[in-house]
Structure 1
Amino acid sequence: MENKDSHLIEHLDELRQRMIKTLIAFVIFFVGALVFVEDIYSWVIRDLGRDLAILGPSDILWVYMIISCVFAIAATIPVVAYQTWKFIAPALTKEERKVTLRFIPGLFILFIIGISFGYFLLFPIVLGFLTNMSAGQFEMMFTADKYFRFMINLILPFGILFEMPLVVMFLTRLGILNPERLAKTRKVSYFFLVVVSIMITPPDFISDMLVIIPLLILYELSVTISRIVYKKKIVSDALM
């Protein structure tokens, strides 16, 4: 019993250390982003065609903080993945450790692709739709706080959702998921993705479809990848 308690304490201590390392990395990236935040801010609003208003001195500070936070989150993803891998590595075989380590760069790349999809494709369409809807009826004033809240709430989920195929591949490789289970939960997953799409887009059919279709394709891609990885895993286990 004492050995089990000691083993649990060691695992918890290791988890704490890896969380601390991840937090330190986030703080470093956050401070680094703050150094260049004015340049980042200017680049983000370059096509807006107007200056953003602030309602108080604290607004611009909040905007700079949230911009730096998003960049720090993106930069910290490989660190989170690596620390997670180091934590579970002792429970994996040598071959599994090699394979799963290769997933780490992909997580960062897919996050950036998801953010880019949301920012360059979806955000201009949604912002243009809402702006045109208010034309001639309301005088719209863009405040920095509202503008960046709207932007981040719209594009950040895509950075996370675009990592779905790689996460599914990783979990399938570890034996936690399999294609049959994903296929059985397809209806529930579709419903969840449709709800997410509707929640983060304005109430028009075109915007909904621009979000729903890529997410459903991502899910089907995840199922296909899981099927391929699962078959390879069965063959590999049979040869061992």
Structure 2
Amino acid sequence: MSILNKFLAKRNGGNPTGEMGFTDHIEALRWHLVRSLVAIIIGAVVVFFNVEWIFEHIIMGPTSSNFISYRLLCDLGKAIHVDALCLSDVKLRFQNNQLSGQFMMSFSISFMLGFIVAFPYVFWEFWKFVKPALKASELKYARGIVFWSSTLFFLGVAFAYFLIAPFTINFFAGYQLSPQFENIITIDNYYDTMSDLILGLGIVFELPIIVYFLSRIGILTPKIMRDQRRIAIVVIMVLAAVITPPDWFSIFLVAIPLVLLYEAGIVVSARILKEKKKKENETLDW
């Protein structure tokens, strides 16, 4: 029996056969997706009516020399005598090279922030769909998963916005191959960079939750994660080196939280494996 059939069998009370049962599952999933989309749209509408202020003060926030992260990082740098944390003023010129560029961007910003705001509800809908497939013992250890998933996601978004984005923007804004070239950035390129960072790290911070589910269905084990630890750390260090200024302190500042997330994933996977072995031993004893 495939993993999908096992999952559908559990949701269907142990009956994996029958086309109607499968259709019912698809119908249930469809309504979960519809309700999630409605929540995202409601958030997007609220953002859209305030999109000009949001774009000016939030999306463009890291381009201002008064951005809170620049001040706090510089204060931290002075306290620990690391000058690299005092980032220079960002000097960027922006342009729009498409007739409908600014109008379409307002929709993109609205839906991105609408998704971020609605994420707890979206995950809750996903959890409602998955929950019937889990046993009572599994639900016991999954208690509070919506809260922890939402917390990790918002931590990832905040980490990207307040730390990664300032380093990234400051570095690339000041990088020049030659004084003959002036950095004039299109607003859609700037927005794409910001949205990729924010949503990307929000999802990356879900690693412990993803590990939990993959370990539950037997795809991932702590041994696999430990064996691939070196490769994972190299990938994390390369990623940190690309998006931060070329000094080791900045690289480690970004890499350490990502490494800790990976290690947290190993702990989660090990705990799941331990529970499975305990249940197997209890079954054998019986």
Which bin holds the TM-score, normalised by the shorter protein? 0.7 to 0.9
TM-score, scaled to structure 2: 0.69
Q: 1:161 aligns with which of 198, 204, 223?
A: 204
User: Corresponding residue for 1:141?
Assistant: 184
The reply on whether 1:150 has 2:150 as its aligned counterpart is no
Q: What letter is aligned with 2:150?
A: F
Distance 2:193 2:214 in 1: 32
Q: 1:48 aligns with which of 56, 63, 74?
A: 63
Distance 2:261 2:254 in 1: 11
User: Corresponding residue for 1:67?
Assistant: 109
In the alignment, is the contact (CA less than 8 A) between 1:85 and 1:101 conserved in 2? no
**CA drift at 1:155:** 3.1
1:170–1:3 CA distance, 2 compared to 1 (3 A): closer
Where is the helix percentage greater, Structure 1 or Structure 2?
1
Cα shift readout 1:192-230 (whole Å, capped 9, x = no counterpart): 5456x2796379465655544432232122112332454
The reply on whether 1:223 has 2:266 as its aligned counterpart is yes
The reply on whether 1:12 has 2:54 as its aligned counterpart is no
Distance 2:268 2:274 in 1: 10
Cα shift readout 1:104-124 (whole Å, capped 9, x = no counterpart): 122222111112111211221
**CA drift at 1:158:** 0.9
Distance 1:239 1:2 in 2: 26
Q: How many residues align?
A: 239
**CA drift at 1:20:** 1.8
Q: What letter is aligned with 2:184?
A: M
In the alignment, is the contact (CA less than 8 A) between 1:115 and 1:158 conserved in 2? yes
In the alignment, is the contact (CA less than 8 A) between 2:167 and 2:245 conserved in 1? no
TM-score, scaled to structure 1: 0.80
| Same amino acid, percent of matched pairs | 29
The reply on whether 1:89 has 2:131 as its aligned counterpart is yes
Distance 1:2 1:217 in 2: 39
**CA drift at 1:11:** 1.5
Q: Which runs of 5+ in 1 are unaligned?
A: none
Distance 1:63 1:199 in 2: 29
Q: Which runs of 5+ in 2 are unaligned?
A: 1-14, 65-91
Q: CA RMSD in A?
A: 3.3
